[in-house]
Amino acid sequence: MRKRHTTKDRLITVALHIALVAGLFFAAFPIYWMLSSSFKSNTEIFALPPTILPKAFTLEAYAAILGDPVKLRFFFNSYFVAFAVTVLTVLIALLAAYGFSRFNFRGKGSLNTLIISTQTIPPITLLIPFFGLVVSYRIFDTYTALILTYLVFTLPYAILLMTGYLNTLPRDLDEAVAVDGGTSWTALWRVIVPISLPGIVATSVYTFLLCWNEFLFALTLTKSASMRTVPIGIQLLMGQHAFEWNQMMAMSVLGSLPLLLIYLIAQRFFLAGMTAGSVK
């Protein structure tokens, strides 16, 4: 059948490749522009006609960011909060997922529904009572405030993701431990955790990304420059010197590195995490 349609067939193939290039331009040009602008001087960014490749390649924007202790502190804060939340979330979610995956108990169905529905609670709704709580417990502008609030948003996803993973593991493994007289606690740490590493990695990646990207709570629950995270830092940079576009782009590139690296190194885990919310 193919042979009779060779010209038509070839035309379709060519059209498809043209569409692919157009799609590529749509998807990647904005990012390319960010990258190339970060290596330009401020005057060159708005040169007419625009220069696609930096004419005078310069690292001055990166030097300005990396030489400024205030901005380095933003990065430290983002990494610190994201790591702390990831460790806590994965531990707590692992226990809950083990309960969901290996036991039948009263209220299991409704608890599961509760956790699924907490995924969709609007952050802005929780922001106002959180602000009230944070002020009255005097933890405004502290790491504690950020870590506790992020934990609430990461936990439901992490539980669903881990439960999904544990459900794929055969039950005979931990039942064998029970036959030998071991408790479920022993089974969890001796048998389940070692073979759950892929699930744990996917959950960690996803949790880390959620924290790294968070904006609204970091904006509201912190105040001093020494407590701000990268997304807020970028916004501050924009307010302070609205025309330092090359620095803003350099900071954006640096702020995107963790996600890009995780994606390139662990694409599989990344995708598993990012689509977790939708697969139930």
- Site for other proteins, residues 61 to 90, rule: CB under 8 A: none
99 binds other proteins (CB under 8 A): yes
Q: Which stretch binds other proteins (CB under 8 A): 43-51, 55-63, 65-73, 79-87?
A: 43-51
CA distance 92 to 24: 41
Neighbours of 133 (CB within 10 A): 16
Q: How far is the CB of 238 from other proteins (least distance, A)?
A: 7
CA–centroid distance for 94 within its chain: 19
Residue 164 C-beta: closest distance to other proteins, Å? 13
Q: Is residue 19 near other proteins by the rule CB under 8 A? A: yes
Q: If binding is defined by CB under 8 A, does position 256 make contact with other proteins? A: yes
Q: Which of 41, 118, 142, 186 binds other proteins (CB under 8 A)?
A: 118
111 binds other proteins (CB under 8 A): yes
- Give the binding range for other proteins (CB under 8 A) out of 15-23, 58-66, 137-145, 193-201: 15-23
Say if residues 39 and 53 touch (Cβ distance below 8 Å). no
Stretch that binds other proteins, among 30-38, 66-74, 189-197, 198-206 (CB under 8 A): 30-38
The residue among 203 and 220 lying less far from other proteins, judged by its C-beta, is 220
Nearer to other proteins, 135 or 197 (CB): 135
Which of 133, 169, 193, 225 touches other proteins by CB under 8 A? 133
Bond from prior residue into 49 cis (ω within 30 degrees of 0) = yes
Applying CB under 8 A, does 46 fall inside the site for other proteins? yes
140 neighbors 134 (Cβ within 8 angstroms): yes
Counting contacts by CB under 8 A, is residue 184 touching other proteins?
yes
CB of 101 to other proteins, least distance (A): 10
Name the strand (E) or helix (H) holding 85.
helix 69-102
Q: How many CB atoms lie within 10 A of CB 8?
A: 9
Please pick, from the candidates 5, 11, 23, 171, the single residue that binds other proteins as defined by CB under 8 A.
23
Q: Which stretch binds other proteins (CB under 8 A): 68-76, 126-134, 167-175, 200-208?
A: 126-134
Q: Output 224-229 pairs: Cβ under 8 A, ≥24 positions apart.
A: 224/141, 225/70, 225/73, 226/70, 226/73, 226/77, 227/77, 227/141, 227/142, 227/143, 227/146, 228/73, 228/74, 228/77, 229/74, 229/77, 229/78, 229/81, 229/146
Phi and psi for 170 in degrees, rounded to 5? -60, 140
DSSP annotation string for 95-127? HHHHHHHH---TTHHHHHHHHHHHTT--HHHHH
When asked if residue 140 is in the footprint of other proteins (CB under 8 A), the reply is no
The site for other proteins, by CB under 8 A, has a size of 90
Phi, psi of 193 (to 5 degrees): -55, -45
Shortest distance, CB of residue 133 to other proteins, whole angstroms? 7
Which one of 127, 139, 169, 191 is in contact with other proteins (CB under 8 A)?
127
Q: Site residues for other proteins, window 201-240 (CB under 8 A)?
A: 212-213, 215-216, 220, 231, 234-235, 238
84 vs 219: CA distance, rounded Å: 19
